[in-house]
């Protein structure tokens, strides 16, 4: 028995996407195989994939570039920009939020401006020649308007360089006004 050869219907809207196979019942031999894509269809697919990969590459580079141009200043912090092109710290202070910078030329220096405690211990003597340990607790924060000047002078060491000298002055005044002989 001879089976008829079935031609694909070219009028079907999904014709290029449908694979039509017709097998004989007893030998599983293929009577009809759909036509292979034409060179034009291959070129269109190659062009579509090439443009998609170019777009994905450019989008990835754009996102990476945008990420290096942005920085965040969290709540309770402020930032000053160090600019290599201008040679130092800029005078403007950046507040909370997301800000722009020029990568590899500018870099943010983020400083905390919340009130912070610092304990300064000291051993002093009293009038009756006994030693007393005094702990001075200082609550401090830098002035936001003066942050560029503070960073130029002290960088990140303001807590270690300025507060001990302020603590010595406060302890000296405390001991002069109370029963202490002096501080050591």
Contact indicator for 100, 128 with CB cutoff of 8 Å: no
Output DSSP code: residue 5.
P
My answer on whether 104 and 159 are in the same domain is no
Give a yes or no: residue 10 inside a domain: no
CA-CA distances (angstroms) from residue 93 to 90, 97, 116, 138? Answer: 8, 12, 20, 25
- Map tokens 């809207």 to a residue: 13
- Claim to verify: residue 28 and residue 41 sit in the same structural domain: yes
Mean of the per-residue pLDDT values of the chain: 78
Distance CA 154, CA 150 (A): 6
Measure the CA–CA gap between 3 and 22, rounded to whole angstroms: 10
Task: Write out the chain's pLDDT in tens, 184 residues.
Answer: 555 555 555 555 545 544 445 444 555 555 555 566 666 666 777 888 888 888 888 888 888 888 888 999 999 999 999 998 888 899 999 999 999 998 889 999 999 999 999 888 887 777 778 887 888 888 889 999 999 999 998 888 888 888 888 877 877 777 777 655 554 4
Q: Are residues 161 and 126 in the same domain?
A: yes
Share of the chain above pLDDT 70, in %: 72
Q: How many domains does the chain have?
A: 3
Is residue 122 domain-shared with residue 174, that is, in the same domain? yes
Residues 59 and 87 reside in one and the same domain: no
Q: pTM of the full predicted structure?
A: 0.59
* Residue positions counted in the chain: 184
- What is the model's pLDDT at position 35? 61
> Are 84 and 42 found together in one domain?
no
Domain check: are 153 and 99 in the same one? no
Answer yes or no: do 62 and 76 share one domain.
no
pLDDT digits (tens, 9 = 90+) for 153-179: 888 888 888 888 887 787 777 777 765
Domain housing 28: 15-66
| Same domain, residue pair 76 and 108 | yes
Residue 170 covered by a domain: yes
């Amino acid at each position: 028995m001879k089976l008829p050869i079935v031609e694909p219907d070219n009028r079907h809207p999904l014709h290029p996407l449908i694979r039509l196979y017709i097998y004989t019942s007893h030998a599983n031999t293929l009577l009809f195989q759909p036509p292979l894509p034409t060179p034009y269809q291959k070129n269109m697919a190659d062009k579509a994939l090439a443009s998609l990969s170019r777009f994905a590459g450019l989008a990835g580079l754009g996102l990476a570039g945008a990420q290096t141009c942005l920085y965040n200043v969290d709540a309770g912090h402020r930032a000053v920009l160090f600019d290599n092109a201008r040679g130092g710290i800029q005078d403007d202070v950046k507040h909370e939020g997301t800000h722009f910078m020029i990568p590899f030329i500018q870099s943010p220096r983020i400083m905390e401006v919340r009130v912070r405690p610092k304990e300064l211990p000291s051993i002093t003597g009293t009038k009756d020649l006994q030693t007393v340990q005094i702990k001075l607790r200082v609550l401090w924060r830098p002035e936001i308007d003066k942050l560029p000047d503070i960073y130029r002078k002290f960088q990140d060491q303001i807590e270690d360089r300025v507060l001990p000298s302020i603590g010595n002055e406060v302890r000296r005044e405390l001991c002069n006004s109370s029963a202490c002989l002096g501080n050591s």
